[in-house]
A and B are shown apart, each in its own frame.
Chain A
Amino acid sequence: MEFSNNTTLKVLSDVLLELALSIGSQHSTHTLIQKSVPLLLKRLECNTCGLFRTKDDYIIENQFVVPGIFPSTVFFEKLKNTPIESEFNLDGQLCYFFRISKEEHLFLRRKTPFTKIQIKEVEPILYFLVNTLHNLEEKGKREKIEVEVKKLSLVASQSTNGVVITDVNGRLEWINQGFTKVSGWTLEEVKGKKPGEFLQGELTDPNTVKVMRESLLSKKGFDVEILNYNKAGIPYWIQIICNPLKDNEGNITGYMAIESDISIRKKYEAQLIKARNRAIEAQKAEENFLANMSHEIRTPLNAVIGMVSLLYETNLNEEQLDYIKTLDHSSSFLLGLISNVLDIQKIQSGNIEIVKSNINITAILDTILMSYEYRVKEKGLKVSVTKTENFPSRIISDKTILLQILNNLMSNAEKFTNSGEIGIRASQIHWKEKNALQLEVFDTGVGIATEKQKFLFKKFKQIHAPELTNTRGTGLGLAITKELVEVLDGEITVESILGEGTVFKVRVPIEVPENTANKYPKNDITLAPKNIFNDIKILVVEDNLMNQKFIVRLLNKLNIDLDLAENGTEAIEKANQEKYDVILMDIQLPDTNGFEVTKIIKNTENLNRETKIIALTASALGQDILKSQAVGMDDFLSKPFRPKDLLAKLENVLV
């Protein structure tokens, strides 16, 4: 039975209508590809449909293919290597490419050929399919953005923070409930106004307002804290973070600001500032007290220790010698106690300064050795200092701090050792990827029980041990030592066996100068031969009579010629009249202080502009040392001092 072409075309037009309705009714790319494309395959009797990105008539990649797995990888490779034509036969299948745009082709594959009429009728549906796909892709993107915008809108409207949006001129377009809650103003009341017109008041900082205004004029955001006034005129603090809003082309379309109420924080901040100022004042008072106390105690103590030293040089009977020894011991203990309290104060207040220099570490160790050999003579202890082969003679570190660390540890070793040996093992090591100095201070003393070792470095914790009834201290020595080691970025550890002895291991990073071994004398602390004091004259500037007496007696013993000045004015006068080799300058003088006197001597025309000046002061605070250096003093000696300390300083400046 034959049927007319009209019937066949009717079937085709119905098929196309059905496809158009299916494509048009899809709401997502997913359903379009999963529903309409398979329907298209069924109705058009095709077995494959794909949308390909193309370039220069070759396939680059597919955007979708139905069925999901392409006819075969072999077929697809062949297809990719075949230039695109509108119709061709490949592996017994008819391939049709419909050009959608320069870079897009829709592909159909079927067993039997389309008629020309069919191709003509089908083409619009295929374009419609691809257009719909792209529209749905765009729609999908827009919907995603809208969802995000909705979320953000919800966050903005529900936020307890104030959120405001202005136009490009800063006039309000939208505010959230958070803003109304804080300011009392509703959108109807403020729309079109600039926030500054109704939020700022007499105590609002004009500088902050200026920052905001200038930021907006230069089209930038800002982050400020400002005092605003609510509708009832009550001030409140807010933090405003404001950023420009931009369109797709990057043009500013307005501004969005988030305002957080920081009134409570500001209240606490004010309280904190007040408390901090009080604390600073209290600390300053404490520092002043300590400095004054230090000065007031050290000054007479200097005289006591000095006089005791001089008394040893006189003819004493046994009883007198015994009294003098007791006096010497007690005054030395008192000096140590004051020094420790001041050291802790210095460290805690951050006043300790690291002054790194090229120092002769070998000489320091030799000096310690000599010093302790003398001190432990009576106990019959052996003292040793050993160095490894590669140990450098010079290092760059803080000499004063290193000396104090070694003295503290050696003094500790000596204190708790009654027989055997104390000493130092020194080596250069690689530690924490740096050169480091390792100093092991050991003793064969009483040792420390393991459970007590953890208290060793605690302040005011002196280990209680029945066998040490004859030792006294503040319990600060090791705490200070630990702090000092840490000031040098080092660490201190302890190993000890009760009854056998203790080893304190100190590691501090150092620098080792290159090829300096012969540039410096081997021992920079060795007392100078006495002949360097011949034919020199010293000006002693000291107001305290006892100290005057001590220094004068000491210098006389060395046959050093001297002049005495009791205040700053007299010191300047004498400096103008005569050339001195050294000036010993007290700092706290009754008229002009020692720093000012030094400045005048060093900076005005007089005979002593080049004369070495050594500061003598009972103030042990770090800033005084710095200040003495700043005004041009050549060295610093802290009172109370022993004769040998003064001699060492004199030698230091005279050599």
Chain B
Amino acid sequence: MIKQIVKTSDTNSLQSALDQMVVQEEVKSVILYIGENFPFDTDALSYQLKSLSTTVIGGVFPEVIIDGQRSNDSAILLGLPYPMSYIVIDEFDERNILPKVTEGLKDHFEENCTFFVFIDALIRNKTILFDTLYNYYGSIPNYLGGGAGTLKFEPTPCVVTNEGILEGAALVASIPQKVTIGVAHGWSPISQPLKVTEVSNNEIISLDWKPVMDVYPSIVEEHSKEKFDYEDFYNCVKSYPIGIKKLNDNMTVRDPFKTENGRLFLLDDIEEGSYVQVLYGNINTLIEAARTARLQAEEKGKVSDNTFIIDCISRGLFMEEDFKNELKELDPLSNSFGALTLGEIANNGDEYLDVYNKTAVVGIFE
């Protein structure tokens, strides 16, 4: 695998680096992550991507990670020695997705393969894609990826494909190589389970038939012993994500990022009827979770030193300077390649495919 970082603000340097990467004989496909503050010419890069015969996948993310360092103004490239097949989804209905899923990925589908999934974080109803993928391929492949976009939460071209850099789209690519995965979050419940009684995609309207903003702030206030600060909403809630309760007390974490009209906006969708709990975590529990994720990945079998990290940008924002310790736990050898994303996608065959928030994911190539 060949890694390359492009730090300069000269857009041409990214295009040159990409050109140089794809001509290398051992490079059969390329993963490209672009930090949200890395200036680049979308049209020019899209044009170049369309002209390449080598598959290039990736996204624009709030930050990128390379060799144990994080950056929001760099672009990083990873040349893989594996061929890829990929599909681009730009219409999110089952009739459009199913034929692409069944036909477009089969070339490199085998018992030990990995699906990379990158999706515009602002797309609602992402589960249509995840359900279709999982209902067809199930747990044979491992899944790894994340939500693309910027912290401005504004629509922007952010999914890197050979069809250009796309907005409102998703990409699924398969490689004939197993990546073992570890997933952990480190958040613990601090409230009783609450039924999500009204919801609109990623907006919770009511919990236990009470307006959500009557319920959630009071739980946070009670735990933090501080008045809920609507003005500084993000800092107020960054330690208190929502956990979707599962049958065996597992939690799928959802990250609240704003409130409007009495609704609580989460980074990803939540289903009406599900049970949620307000979670809390601190630096130590989160770093401990990062270690757990690493161990989980290593436990799966023989692994290489090539570490792939998908971590949540909100963990980075929450942990600030301490995030370097999380990175160290995730990537003790500091040779990682990854991104801080807006939602994490990971599945190692143990459970149904879903998108997580505020979660650390480690993938290691076997």
- Interface residues, chain A, with chain B CB atoms under 8 Å away: 1, 3, 7-8, 10-12, 14-15, 18, 34, 38, 41-48, 66-74, 110-112, 118
Question: Interface on chain B toward A: helix, strand, loop, or mixed SS?
Answer: loop
Contact of B258 with A by CB under 8 A = no
| A to B contact number (C-beta, < 8 Å) | 79
Contact of B250 with A by CB under 8 A = yes
Are B350 and A111 closer than 8 Å at their CB atoms?
yes
27 example contacts (A-B, Cβ-Cβ < 8 A) are as follows A1-B189, A3-B192, A7-B192, A7-B193, A8-B249, A11-B245, A14-B195, A38-B135, A41-B352, A42-B354, A43-B247, A44-B247, A45-B248, A45-B250, A45-B352, A46-B351, A47-B138, A47-B349, A48-B139, A66-B135, A67-B138, A67-B139, A69-B138, A71-B139, A73-B111, A74-B111, A110-B350
Are B135 and A71 closer than 8 Å at their CB atoms?
no
B233-250 vs A, CB cutoff 8 Å, 1 = contact: the mask equals 000000000000111111
Are B138 and A68 closer than 8 Å at their CB atoms?
yes
Contacts of A38 in B (CB 8 A): 131, 134-135, 352
Given contacts A10-B193, A67-B138, A71-B138, 5 further A-B contacts (CB under 8 A): A1-B191, A10-B275, A45-B351, A48-B138, A66-B138
Are A47 and B350 closer than 8 Å at their CB atoms?
yes
- Within B129-144, which residues are at the interface with A (CB < 8 Å)? 131, 134-140
- Within B178-193, which residues are at the interface with A (CB < 8 Å)? 188-193
Contact of B273 with A by CB under 8 A = yes
Are A72 and B140 closer than 8 Å at their CB atoms?
yes
Whole-angstrom distance between the Cβ of B274 and the nearest chain A Cβ: 9
How long is the Cα–Cα vector from A38 to B352 in the complex, in angstroms? 9
How long is the Cα–Cα vector from A71 to B190 in the complex, in angstroms? 36
Whole-angstrom distance between the Cβ of B70 and the nearest chain A Cβ: 32
Are B189 and A47 closer than 8 Å at their CB atoms?
no
Are B140 and A47 closer than 8 Å at their CB atoms?
no
Are A118 and B247 closer than 8 Å at their CB atoms?
yes
- Within B216-273, which residues are at the interface with A (CB < 8 Å)? 245-250, 273
Interface size class of B (residues with CB under 8 A): 20 to 34
Contacts of B136 in A (CB 8 A): 67-69
Whole-angstrom distance between the Cβ of A351 and the nearest chain B Cβ: 74
How long is the Cα–Cα vector from A71 to B245 in the complex, in angstroms? 25
Contacts of B351 in A (CB 8 A): 45-47, 110-111
Look across to chain A and name the residue whose beta carbon is closest to the beta carbon of B273.
Answer: A18
- Within B298-346, which residues are at the interface with A (CB < 8 Å)? none
Whole-angstrom distance between the Cβ of B295 and the nearest chain A Cβ: 16
Whole-angstrom distance between the Cβ of B352 and the nearest chain A Cβ: 5
How long is the Cα–Cα vector from A15 to B246 in the complex, in angstroms? 9
Are A34 and B139 closer than 8 Å at their CB atoms?
no
- Within B111-131, which residues are at the interface with A (CB < 8 Å)? 111, 131
Contacts of B350 in A (CB 8 A): 47, 110-111
Contacts of B354 in A (CB 8 A): 42
A67-B135, A67-B139, A71-B140 given as contacts; is B247 within 8 A of A45 (CB)? Answer: yes
Look across to chain B and name the residue whose beta carbon is closest to the beta carbon of A48.
Answer: B138
A47-B138, A68-B135 given as contacts; is B352 within 8 A of A42 (CB)? Answer: yes
Whole-angstrom distance between the Cβ of A172 and the nearest chain B Cβ: 50
Q: Which 5 A-B pairs have the closest CB atoms?
A: A67-B138, A111-B350, A42-B352, A47-B139, A68-B136
Kindly identify which residue among B131, B134, B248 contacts A112, using a CB–CB cutoff of 8 Å.
B248
How long is the Cα–Cα vector from A15 to B245 in the complex, in angstroms? 11
A41-B352, A45-B352, A74-B111 given as contacts; is B193 within 8 A of A11 (CB)? Answer: yes
Whole-angstrom distance between the Cβ of A16 and the nearest chain B Cβ: 10
Are A69 and B245 closer than 8 Å at their CB atoms?
no
Whole-angstrom distance between the Cβ of B322 and the nearest chain A Cβ: 24
Contacts of A72 in B (CB 8 A): 111, 140
Contacts of A10 in B (CB 8 A): 193, 275
Contacts of A7 in B (CB 8 A): 192-193
Whole-angstrom distance between the Cβ of A635 and the nearest chain B Cβ: 88
A11-B245, A38-B134, A48-B139 given as contacts; is B349 within 8 A of A71 (CB)? Answer: yes
